[in-house]
Amino acid sequence: MELSPWLERATAEIRDWASSHGPVAVHPSLGVDEPALREALDVLVARLRKSYPFFHPRYAGQMLKPPHPVAVVGYVAAMLINPNNHALDGGPATSALETEAVGRLAAMFGLENHLGHLTSSGTIANLEALFVARECHPGAAVALSTEAHYTHARMCHLLGLPTRAVAADAHGRMDPAALAEVLATGDVGTVVATAGTTGRGAVDPVHEILALARGHGARVHVDAAYGGFFTLLAQDDPDHGPALVDPRPWRALAGCDSLVVDPHKHGLQPYGCGAVLFGDPAVARFYRHDSPYTYFSSSAPHLGEISLECSRSGAAAAALWLTQELLPLDRGGLGAVLAAGRRAATNWARMIQQSPHLELFQPPDLDIVTYFPRSPTPWTGTAALSAASTDVLDRGMKAEDPVYLSTLRVEAGAFAARHPAIPVDGSEVTVLRSVLMKPEAEPYLDHLHQRVEHLVRQHHQDRVKP
């Protein structure tokens, strides 16, 4: 879809609504000189040109891509009003949109009951889940996989919660046997599982973790900030084919105590859109507080009464709601977007396995591919391999036909667990990592693969030169 006509339509409609309230003259203090604006805008755009092309499939690096145009239209329409979803006084219309949009997220995960709301980010959403976890089990520890997002340890520190590290297996998934040992100490109140780790996209065995945790009376929080929407691909579908991810961890989500998903990662939204969901609506009691400034318009619950943040963008809720209307949370809607990236990841993994220039670090669970350069003569050690990964990353960005990858530092033991034949000489190993989160990655795959193979060949050629 072409963005401009819809943006024009949205702005015209909101202008029409505004004018129904009667004319308001723009105050002279807010007036701007149009030539000065044109000049400043030129400077801004010139500076924005220094961005990486997140929209293009040649950008196969981090979890970054522009929002869907529908989200932009929804966001701009509401932003012109600038509602604040802290309270019904601030966002009567967008609070209702948020409640609906969050209800659809809860339904996607199969939650029968829920309490939930949007947040500014996955970090804040996880903070809220950990805050509730602390109130449920005061003084008890939080068990975290070594592959959990780094912000969990930070947020536990902030909340004064002790943590227990749980080892991951060779695939980067939480190891249930290691969890059983940690749980046996009896001091764990909450287990944090990750459905799609940020590094490798590994999906923890939530079904096994849930059973173990329940055996010890511990809560289970699932951080699905990045991976959550892949639950759309976890079922065989008569119209869209078989499940594209292992269904077992996803099915278990409905039985967990809380979960976090980031619509600003895989939900086509601009930044400022995370979400936290609780299975037991009664946890609302932990948020209880009063505000002398707000909450005058109704006795109905305000979103600010069940969230830690105060001001929050109502436009984010409008954008998410509109996107869900057009790309619903099913296999044919948003699922089709994720399916293309998932197919691209599995296909690229297969191509890498057959490549004389690249080696697969591990098969992808979702849409993150991890790989590293092969060497014409066996690698002397992981240090040379790491240097080659970094060099391929740099060369890719500087090339005439650039490709943008990312790197992942893997702890040496974790690397050796997967690739024991390569001698380890260093505490960490750098491999290459690509998040194929745009559906456009699928038709671009042959070119991307050729480009990366070429960069590896160039690295080795330049290395042997005197």
Ligand X SMILES: *Cc1c(COP(=O)(O)O)cnc(C)c1O
The residues binding ligand X (CB under 6 A) are 121-123, 126, 149, 151, 194, 198, 223, 225-226, 262, 274
Q: How far is the CB of 274 from ligand X (least distance, A)?
A: 5
For ligand X, the closer CB: 149 or 357 = 149
For ligand X, the closer CB: 172 or 396 = 172
Q: Which two tokens stand for residue 183?
A: 């749980």
For ligand X, the closer CB: 207 or 264 = 264
Q: Are 396 and 451 in contact (CB under 8 A)?
A: yes
Q: For tokens 């339904």, what's the residue?
A: 107
| H or E element, residue 6 | helix 3-19
* Residues comprising the chain, all counted: 466
Q: How far is the CB of 241 from ligand X (least distance, A)?
A: 27
For ligand X, the closer CB: 175 or 453 = 175
Q: For tokens 């764990």, what's the residue?
A: 188
For ligand X, the closer CB: 94 or 123 = 123
Q: How far is the CB of 142 from ligand X (least distance, A)?
A: 14
SS3 state of residue 148: coil
Q: How far is the CB of 166 from ligand X (least distance, A)?
A: 15
Q: Is 438 exposed, middle or buried (0-12, 13-18, 19+ CB in 10 A)?
A: buried
Q: Which of 426, 414, 442 is nearest to 342 (CA)?
A: 442
For ligand X, the closer CB: 77 or 202 = 202
For ligand X, the closer CB: 194 or 407 = 194
Which amino acid type is present at position 77?
A
For ligand X, the closer CB: 345 or 358 = 345
Q: Which of 287, 283, 272, 267 is nearest to 333 (CA)?
A: 267
Identify the bridge partners of residue 78 per DSSP, sorted by sequence position.
Answer: none
Q: What are phi and psi of 160, to 5 degrees?
A: 70, 30
326 to 116, 198, 329: CA distances (angstroms):
22, 28, 10
Q: For tokens 């990592």, what's the residue?
A: 433
Identify the bridge partners of residue 237 per DSSP, sorted by sequence position.
Answer: 241
The whole-angstrom separation of Cα 457 and Cα 452 is 9
Q: How far is the CB of 151 from ligand X (least distance, A)?
A: 6
Q: How far is the CB of 436 from ligand X (least distance, A)?
A: 15
Q: How far is the CB of 366 from ligand X (least distance, A)?
A: 11
Q: Which of 444, 367, 334, 335 is nearest to 71 (CA)?
A: 334
Q: How far is the CB of 355 from ligand X (least distance, A)?
A: 28
